Each structure stands twice: as C-alpha cells, then as structure tokens.
Amino acid sequence: MIVLASQSASRRALLTAAQVPFEALSPGVDEDAAKEALRADGLDARALADALAELKALRVSRRVPGALVLGCDQTLSLDDGAMIDKAVDRADAEQILKLLSGRVHHLHSAALIVLNGEPIWRHVERVRMTVRPLSEPFIQSYLDADWEECRWCVGCYRIEGPGAQLFAKVEGSQFAIQGLPLLPLLDFLRVRGVLAA
C-alpha cells in the first residue's frame, strides 16, 4: 500500500488501472504560493515539478509515519524555457491554446516517494508535445465541450479525452502526460515488494 499525496482524478485512475494498492490524501499545499517562491529561486520547469512533488509528499509523510508517500507534479515549458500554468479562467485558456498552437512544448512529470520524511526515490519524465495549428472555431468548440474537465490541467488538455485532437505528434509516455511516470514507479514498487515481481 502506498499513500498518494494528491486528489488528482487522473493519477488515481492510473494507479487503480495498474492495480496499485493506494490511499489518497490531500497534501494541503498552496501550490500557487509554493510555485511563486520556487520560481523566485530560479528553478526551471523540470526542477520545479520535482520540488513541488517533494513538497506534497513531505507534507503528507508527516501525517502517516512508516508509509510510502507518493508526491507528483507536472509543469509545462515552451522551447524558450517559458513556463505555462493552469488557466485561471476560460479567457486565459483561450490565450494558452493560441500560444501553444503550431508549437512544441514539453511536459515534465515528476514523481517522488518519501518514507518517514526522507525522499527515497524520484523520477522526472519529459514528454515532447507538438500542437497542430488550431483555428479559433476549433478552440471555441473544444472549450465548449471540455472546459469543466480540462480547466484543471496544465496546458488546458486531457490527452485521454478530447485534448488528443490538439496534437500532431507526441514523443513520450502517455502516462506521463496524464501526470504520472507510471512505468518507473511500478518498477520501484516491485523492487520494494509492494507489487509482485
């Protein structure tokens, strides 16, 4: 059994589908404030995802001594290093999708395991995503159809839903796109004896 330091529906679904025994607890982290502080320290997108995953896992680990606590986070960066956050509202989502249209971006999906307040495993997976050119009517119809779901996702898309239509090419793991580098995590859990080898 592991403890997932997240209430993310997609991460819970991935662990459930892979038959990983887990319990989910909210880390109670103010992500916006934490992101702002870490960015002020000069962290790039990869390091930021890793640091946020660690923060969440450490916060929950204090409440469940002896448990393997999984913290996760995901960041999005453009080729120039600029980072994109989750949309604050639908108008912001439209601007994000226009910015991503016809461009390459990178998702950095971090996972970290903490035991008794000490990180014992970490992995950050990068996925290269090429968004096809998006027309204004497509953006509007896409957000009409999926806004209530994609609003919680960095980049305003769910690859497992209508967001798949945004892409011309994806290089990397679909699991990582959904917020969890699942295969390296499963390997670690087999080594630890949580899953059968």
The catalytic residues are 73
How many CA within 13 A on the CB side of residue 94? 11
Beta carbons of 193 and 25 less than 8 angstroms apart: no
Beta-strand relationship, 2-4 and 68-78:
parallel
Beta carbons of 167 and 156 less than 8 angstroms apart: no
What is the rounded distance in angstroms from the CA atom of residue 75 to the CA atom of residue 39? 12
* Dihedral class, residue 59 (left if φ above 0, else alpha if ψ from -120 to 50, else beta): alpha
What is the rounded distance in angstroms from the CA atom of residue 22 to the CA atom of residue 83? 31
What is the rounded distance in angstroms from the CA atom of residue 157 to the CA atom of residue 142? 10
Q: Which amino acid is at 142?
A: Y
Q: Which amino acid is at 162?
A: P
